[in-house]
Structure 1
Amino acid sequence: MVKHHTRRRVLQALGAAGMVGLAGCGGNGNGGAGEQRLSWHAGGTGGTYFPLSNEIKTIVEENTDLSLNVQSTGASVENVGSLADGTADFALIQNDIAFFAKNGTGIDSFQDNAIENLQGVATLYPETITLVTLQGTGIESLSDLSGATINTGDLGSGTQVNANQILESVGVTDYDEQNAGFSQASEQLANGDIDAAFVVGGWPVGAIEDLANTNDIRILSIEGDNREAVKEEASWFADDTIPGGTYSGVDDDVETVAVQAMIATNESVPADTVETVTAAIFDNVDDLSIKTDFISKDSAQDGMSIELHEGAAAYFGETGATQTETEQ
């Protein structure tokens, strides 16, 4: 474990993990013309990306001649690297990470290293920041996290980036960091190996559900002055609420913040392939069972933070590639 004191030191670790593919920002491994098998990179099996991606796989394969190979990954930052070097044709990422990558800014991994071939397809749903602990830890508020052992998500993931942004913005700079996916973080909490964990994903997150079914959990709120400080630090965070009853034993609403999940691709994937995949998904959203209150054709460009791929633009009837005016 490493002791952290500043945001820059926290984020420097990202440059060493999950970004190996960033050096080759041109090729496309699986999405060439005439090839029917596409690579789709998701996230950890305990989050929302992976099960949702497998539902999308089923829809695409039932409605097109394409097949999707869904892979579990470290999620957003790692997925950007896979899109950049062409080992992934499509991936789920956070809209803030997409903006950082496309513009070569925001975090050390992307600073002055813009991923120019990264393009957007559609936004999907709010990704809620869930900060979970157990009742027995004595942690009841964000201020109690000073000196704690915290799992901030997989090394190089969007979850880690968000966690470190939030902790610094509320003045928590002295903590021991662990890095693991949601399922392992749940096990760490249950075993007493960590004090708290950040999970970023559409509620309910399976790993938290499983934890809550066997342990008394507490979800820390991000509200009031703390929430305003978080949003001032990073404008892509939006207010969000985890409804009471989402997780066993958490009966009251919990105020927090969220980013936005989105589908991304790279510019070398053919336009007709992107349009076909996009149409399959958004013409058949009724076949999804995950985040159905949020995913729709009408809202699929809300929060789009990067240039839109021409195939997606064709499906959504956009007159040209678009990019949300998002500032740090």
Structure 2
Amino acid sequence: MSYEETRRRFLEVTGAAGVAALAGCAGNGGNGDGDGSGDGDGAETETPAGDTETPTEGGDDGGSGTRLSWHAGGTGGTYYPLSNEFKTVVEANTDFSLNVQSTGASVENVGSLANESADFALIQNDIAYFAKNGTGIDTFEGNPIENLQGVATLYPETITVVTLAENDISSLSDLSGATINTGDLGSGTQVNALQILEAVGVTDFNEQNAGFSQASEQLANGDIDAAFVVGGWPVGAIEDLANTNDVEIVPIEGENREAVKEAASWFADDTIPGGTYTGVDEDVETVAVQAMIATNAGVPADTVEAVTAAIFDNLDDLSIKTDFITVDSAQDGMSIELHEGAAAYFDA
């Protein structure tokens, strides 16, 4: 599939999904008051992707024992396990419970925040900027998500291009003519993958679309030649693959890295340390975007402040990305307007 064919397919799917999601921005996709009427026991940790839980009206006291909907990402990435750690600290330190849902991540999550079927979600800072400003990718072009608001930035989302050593792919140029998994259709990963491939002049490739876990299986089975993964290292799906196969991480370095950063200013230099994955002993240069927590304007300020405080006052209870998630860095790379509840916490 050529780049233009891939792009048309991307627009057909994300355009349809985006229009449906954006249609709810006027406010009928859920009341968005953050007061779900769940039983508060936190037992439900995952709703199958594609199923949404619309918040129901609750009390006016900030939500004693109420359930909030938190949209994460695929189970093989970083968003989902990190979101469940947030769930633990929020439920231990507030009267809220979180329903953490596995999703297709950034672009899908923006739609859920737009129609207010999600109270909080993890998204990439570049996707947040595109959505808020109605630009960047055609799904959002001319359709700004005005109710999208930021809470905090978290950690670099490393762009990892993974292949098997036997595939003899050592640079991005070697991907010409290859079969590549660019991530779930409509995801932030796919957006980034297509941006990078276009920036370095790789336009002739066959595209596959699946989440990280399935992409690892495709590589192991020889169904694809390489896969793009966007997430904080180490990514569980790549760890699992590297434990059973000889993998190679394709660098984004030198002129290629400069071309990528010139094409899209939100990419920053990043490095995957040697030893992160079994058999990859040397540092690998690449680029990254930034992961962030987002919400929508319909969630009450005291709810957002309470959730934000629960997370950032209890960072010692986290085990994922702890070197990066700090109060001091929580506004670095914030690409959209801050929710007033988050501002109340960080400005205090």
* 1:127-163 C-alpha deviation (Å, 9 max, x unpaired): 0000000011121111110111100000111000000
Letter of the aligned partner of 2:23 in structure 1? A
Alignment partner of 1:46 out of 71, 76, 91: 76
Letter of the aligned partner of 2:294 in structure 1? A
Gaps of 5+ in 2: 36-57
Question: In the alignment, which residue of structure 2 is the partner of 1:322?
Answer: none
Letter of the aligned partner of 1:88 in structure 2? A
Question: In the alignment, which residue of structure 2 is the partner of 1:21?
Answer: 21
Given the superposition, is the C-alpha separation of residues 154 and 290 from structure 1 closer, same or farther in structure 2, using an over 3 Å criterion? same
Given the superposition, is the C-alpha separation of residues 127 and 61 from structure 1 closer, same or farther in structure 2, using an over 3 Å criterion? same
Q: Which moved more, 1:14-23 or 1:160-169?
A: 14-23
Q: Which moved more, 1:132-141 or 1:249-258?
A: 132-141
Query: In structure 1, what is the Cα distance between the partners aligned to 2:135 and 2:9?
Result: 16
Query: In structure 2, what is the Cα distance between the partners aligned to 1:215 and 1:40?
Result: 34
Q: Are the equivalent residues in 1 in contact too, given 2:72–2:83 (CA < 8 A)?
A: yes
Question: In the alignment, which residue of structure 1 is the partner of 2:146?
Answer: 116
Question: In the alignment, which residue of structure 1 is the partner of 2:132?
Answer: 102
* 1:6-41 C-alpha deviation (Å, 9 max, x unpaired): 785364242234663221112434614524100000
Given the superposition, is the C-alpha separation of residues 54 and 19 from structure 1 closer, same or farther in structure 2, using an over 3 Å criterion? farther
Query: In structure 2, what is the Cα distance between the partners aligned to 1:164 and 1:239?
Result: 18
**What's the % identity of the aligned pairs?**
82
Given the superposition, is the C-alpha separation of residues 180 and 30 from structure 1 closer, same or farther in structure 2, using an over 3 Å criterion? farther
1:9 is the counterpart of 2:4? no
Gaps of 5+ in 1: 319-328
Query: In structure 1, what is the Cα distance between the partners aligned to 2:180 and 2:234?
Result: 21
Question: In the alignment, which residue of structure 1 is the partner of 2:45?
Answer: none
Alignment partner of 1:175 out of 188, 202, 205: 205
Coordinate RMSD, CA, aligned: 1.4
Q: Are the equivalent residues in 1 in contact too, given 2:10–2:185 (CA < 8 A)?
A: no
Query: In structure 2, what is the Cα distance between the partners aligned to 1:268 and 1:156?
Result: 25
Question: In the alignment, which residue of structure 1 is the partner of 2:225?
Answer: 195
Letter of the aligned partner of 1:166 in structure 2? I
Q: Are the equivalent residues in 2 in contact too, given 1:19–1:77 (CA < 8 A)?
A: no
Letter of the aligned partner of 2:3 in structure 1? H
* TM-fit CA distance, 1:170: 0.3
Question: In the alignment, which residue of structure 1 is the partner of 2:185?
Answer: 155
Letter of the aligned partner of 1:257 in structure 2? V
Given the superposition, is the C-alpha separation of residues 162 and 115 from structure 1 closer, same or farther in structure 2, using an over 3 Å criterion? same
1:257 is the counterpart of 2:260? no
Query: In structure 2, what is the Cα distance between the partners aligned to 1:94 and 1:71?
Result: 17
Question: In the alignment, which residue of structure 1 is the partner of 2:99?
Answer: 69
Letter of the aligned partner of 2:256 in structure 1? N
Letter of the aligned partner of 2:237 in structure 1? A
Question: In the alignment, which residue of structure 2 is the partner of 1:88?
Answer: 118
* TM-fit CA distance, 1:185: 0.3
| DSSP-derived class of the 1:24 partner | helix
TM-score (norm 2): 0.88
Question: In the alignment, which residue of structure 2 is the partner of 1:31?
Answer: 34
Question: In the alignment, which residue of structure 2 is the partner of 1:232?
Answer: 262
TM-score (norm 1): 0.94
Letter of the aligned partner of 2:252 in structure 1? I
Q: Are the equivalent residues in 1 in contact too, given 2:269–2:288 (CA < 8 A)?
A: yes
Alignment partner of 1:276 out of 306, 309, 312: 306
Aligned length: 317
Query: In structure 2, what is the Cα distance between the partners aligned to 1:19 and 1:192?
Result: 36
Q: Are the equivalent residues in 1 in contact too, given 2:189–2:228 (CA < 8 A)?
A: yes
Q: Are the equivalent residues in 2 in contact too, given 1:18–1:156 (CA < 8 A)?
A: no
Question: In the alignment, which residue of structure 1 is the partner of 2:50?
Answer: none
Query: In structure 2, what is the Cα distance between the partners aligned to 1:89 and 1:28?
Result: 10
Query: In structure 1, what is the Cα distance between the partners aligned to 2:332 and 2:83?
Result: 20
Q: Are the equivalent residues in 2 in contact too, given 1:11–1:161 (CA < 8 A)?
A: no
Letter of the aligned partner of 1:16 in structure 2? A
* 1:269-288 C-alpha deviation (Å, 9 max, x unpaired): 00000000000000000100
Q: Which moved more, 1:254-263 or 1:21-30?
A: 21-30
Letter of the aligned partner of 1:81 in structure 2? G
Query: In structure 1, what is the Cα distance between the partners aligned to 2:15 and 2:276?
Result: 35
* TM-fit CA distance, 1:316: 0.3
* TM-fit CA distance, 1:111: 0.2
Given the superposition, is the C-alpha separation of residues 302 and 202 from structure 1 closer, same or farther in structure 2, using an over 3 Å criterion? same
1:134 is the counterpart of 2:161? no
